[in-house]
Amino acid sequence: MTLPIDPVENLALLIRCPSVTPAEGGALTALANMLKPLGFSIERPVFSDSGTPDIENLYARLSGNGPHLMFAGHTDVVPPGDESAWKHPPFSATIDNGEIYGRGAVDMKGGIACFAAAVARHVAEHGPVKGNISFLITGDEEGPAINGTVKLLEWAKAKGEHWDAAVVGEPTNPERLGDMIKIGRRGSVSGTLVVHGVQGHAAYPHLAENPVRGLVTLVEALLDPALDQGTKDFQPSNLEVTTIDVGNPATNVIPAKATAAFNIRFNDSWTEETIMAEIHNRLDRAAAITKLRPGRETAINYELLWRDRPSPVFLTRDEKLIGTLSASIEAVTGRKPQLSTSGGTSDARFIKDYCPVVEFGLVGQTMHMVDERAALPDLEMLTRIYQRFLADFFG
């Protein structure tokens, strides 16, 4: 029986599966084939929801007596883009100059490949695990995130599953392996601002109301002053306007409406409710009186549309999980990792409702880029970190 002890071989098998969201692409099958020889029981539930594609997921469990550690992640990847721009085909898993190329190499098939190799080495060296290990792997983290981790967690809990800790294998290191563990994330909420005016001829502005004037006023109110100066555990909250549009191809027509979309990443100074209330207050104050038409003052006619499912801010404070992983990283790399809450969102935002969760994976410098790739020495080192962590976590 061949065990999946080589992370490079594991990753090559996963990269060769074109699992662009929402396609399974063979990636979950490849992972299942790695885990079966280790004694994992494997289930692959498919979840559905209206208006979204069906998603196949994987839940694998190695049962023992002791604490239950979850490894979570995703096998789906973003599209490769212009494949002719790649040095090597994006699903070829070509090894070149000490690196393996392919879409998902670092985000995050590399983390999955290394954790599977770490479990295999642990079993080969120590025998049965003194506890429980599960892989909770989704196929839509890069997509809507509706039929994946959220429902997989609910499904597993309904079956009686309980976890003591979780590690998400997302690429967390900015420069070198061992730089950073993510112990929390800022929250995220998105909205669209729509200002309504009166369409008219650009040469007769007194007969129209230009919504662009109002939109500029409201956007300035959103951006200034700053939301906060940051907190002990989190960097400052920021609001970024991501698009402005009037949908107007004619240069001599004042448009009927103007829109701006924005995203806020907020720290623990706020909750979803309080940050949304702050935005409403800023807009109401700025909209009270302004000039939409030369020589006439009137309130800005606007509406604010919030997108569904804001992500809450969270911070993990579990000393055993964080301390054990930090010690494992330092033992293997010689570097003491920074405990960070920077970056975007991940499926950890769902897992934190079930157990303490941290994130640690490869260096993320090429994720989502053309020529995404992972260094072979990093794959071996990450496997050794995970292996050391398993031994120490389970005692």
* The token pair that represents 302 in the structure block: 């606007």
- Decide if 395 contacts 388 (C-beta within 8 A): no
Q: Is 170 annotated as a binding residue?
A: yes
Determine the Cα–Cα distance for residues 197 and 301; give it in Å rounded to an integer: 7
Tokens at 33, concatenated:
């084939």
Q: Which of 56, 99, 140, 141 is catalytic?
A: 141
3-state secondary structure of 135: strand
**74 annotated to bind ligand:** yes
With beta carbons less than 8 A apart as the criterion, state whether 174 and 181 touch. no
Beta strand pairing call for 68-74 and 132-138: parallel
Instruction: Tell me whether residue 68 is annotated as binding.
Output: no
Q: Which two tokens stand for residue 189?
A: 């909420």
76 is catalytic: yes
Catalytic status, residue 272: no
String of b and e for 289-315 (b: at least 16 CB within 10 Å)? eeebbeeeeeebbbeeeeeeebbbbbb
Between CA 4 and CA 11 the distance in angstroms is 10
Is 126 annotated as a binding-site member? Answer: no
Decide: 185 and 235 in contact? Cβ < 8 Å.
no
Exactly one of 6, 24, 56, 76 is catalytic; name it: 76
142 is in an annotated binding site: yes
CA-to-CA distance for 242 and 253, rounded, in angstroms?
A: 24
Binding site for Zn(2+): residue ranges? 74, 107, 142, 170, 368
Q: Which residues are known binding-site members?
A: 74, 107, 142, 170, 368
Q: Among all residues, which ones are annotated catalytic?
A: 76, 141
